Structure 1
């Protein structure tokens, strides 16, 4: 049973472990950099525990999270209506839109093993039909707020250390520091998505569901390996 569970959930488990390992690595490296800056400023080093609860660590984590979830949210929502000829990341060219109830297997077309809310009417079906976008968008907004709150705290710590006036949260939202942190992550995420959508037209990875079958024509759209 354990081996079967590991095999059937291996993708999520491996990425979950990679996340934990890289977060740990970020904490260790960030702690060292932070303490180097403390010493350079004539201040004493801080413990790992204090660093992990600092605004500097939180803003570094949150700014990456919000950009990742923005990428997923936009990709989920835009691919409902937009297509890319030849890409397995796109729907077929004539299948744009929300699609029929029959194709989506909801209401009278739901199967025995369909989620209960797929068989329901009204709000429950609407919520299930949009749950992925809602959750991804919600996590983006929450992590963006976390970034802004931690960011203004870290920014004001620097302001005070340099004997300058701190700013309000609203004031920080128009500071170059905030948008520099934000946009440098957004541009990399948008580039990655565009690269995946376009390069997968012509390139293949045998056995991957993110790729078309090796022998598929370059013009084949919405076909997964």
Structure 2
């Protein structure tokens, strides 16, 4: 197999992840450029000198804008992954079949003695390794959310204090900022949009279709078809 064919196969087999990673980088660069321009406009109004893009992307203002979005996204993933273990939605392909709430049996999950030769090694393990791996997706998503939330609180404190110093006001501590309206306004405006997006996807996918998408039921599937019933 030639290098070109191997590269083409890799790109084809990983197109979804690579496309979204590329789009992420493009939008992150766009955010940096637009954010820098807006920040310099604010500095100009206050009579301060402009900063470069490099200075802006290493500033607390840029960091807090990025991390507050990241934490809300990973909160969405964490809540959706864990909520769908127990909560069901009749007619939605985003839900498990009705009557299947819960973590499932070891046989259904191909764990322990029911693991196959193709199963991940820790799926067939015993004890803490199996327990950890069987919850690893939710744990990682939840951990990333907490870390992004902490990063938002720290960078938000720094950005908030920089603005206060420009306004000749005394800076505040981390705990005081986390209890402030500015922090919770930033946080809750992201959380509410993510929760609305989840609810919209769950409900609209009951009645609407997108041909060829794994996030949609087949076009001719009845509205009442739930989860894998749609297949």
Q: Under a length normalisation based on structure 2, what TM-score does the superposition of the two structures give?
A: 0.96
CA distance, structure 1, for counterparts of residue 218 and residue 90 of structure 2: 16
Query: Aligned pair 1:194/2:194, yes or no?
Result: no
Q: Deviations over 1:83-132 (max 9, x none)?
A: 01000000011111010000000111000110000110000001110000
Structure 1 residue 172: deviation in Å? 0.4
- What SS class does the counterpart of residue 80 from structure 1 fall into? helix
Structure 1 residue 49: deviation in Å? 1.1
Report the counterpart of residue 136 of structure 2 in structure 1.
131
Structure 1 residue 158: deviation in Å? 1.1
Report the counterpart of residue 2 of structure 1 in structure 2.
7
Report the counterpart of residue 73 of structure 1 in structure 2.
78
Report the counterpart of residue 223 of structure 2 in structure 1.
218
CA distance, structure 1, for counterparts of residue 217 and residue 188 of structure 2: 32
CA distance, structure 2, for counterparts of residue 131 and residue 180 of structure 1: 31
- What SS class does the counterpart of residue 75 from structure 1 fall into? helix
What is the aligned counterpart of 1:179 among 184, 189, 208?
Answer: 184
| Alignment length (residue pairs) | 225
Structure 1 residue 162: deviation in Å? 1.3
- What SS class does the counterpart of residue 112 from structure 1 fall into? coil
Query: Aligned pair 1:54/2:54, yes or no?
Result: no
Report the counterpart of residue 97 of structure 1 in structure 2.
102
- What SS class does the counterpart of residue 79 from structure 1 fall into? helix
Report the counterpart of residue 146 of structure 2 in structure 1.
141
CA distance, structure 2, for counterparts of residue 146 and residue 173 of structure 1: 12
CA distance, structure 2, for counterparts of residue 124 and residue 32 of structure 1: 49
Q: Under a length normalisation based on structure 1, what TM-score does the superposition of the two structures give?
A: 0.99
Runs (5+) with no aligned partner, structure 2: 1-5
CA distance, structure 2, for counterparts of residue 140 and residue 78 of structure 1: 16
CA distance, structure 2, for counterparts of residue 199 and residue 119 of structure 1: 38
- What SS class does the counterpart of residue 227 from structure 2 fall into? coil
What is the aligned counterpart of 1:122 among 103, 127, 132?
Answer: 127
CA distance, structure 2, for counterparts of residue 48 and residue 197 of structure 1: 40
Query: Aligned pair 1:209/2:219, yes or no?
Result: no
Runs (4 or more) in structure 1 with deviation over 3 Å come to: none
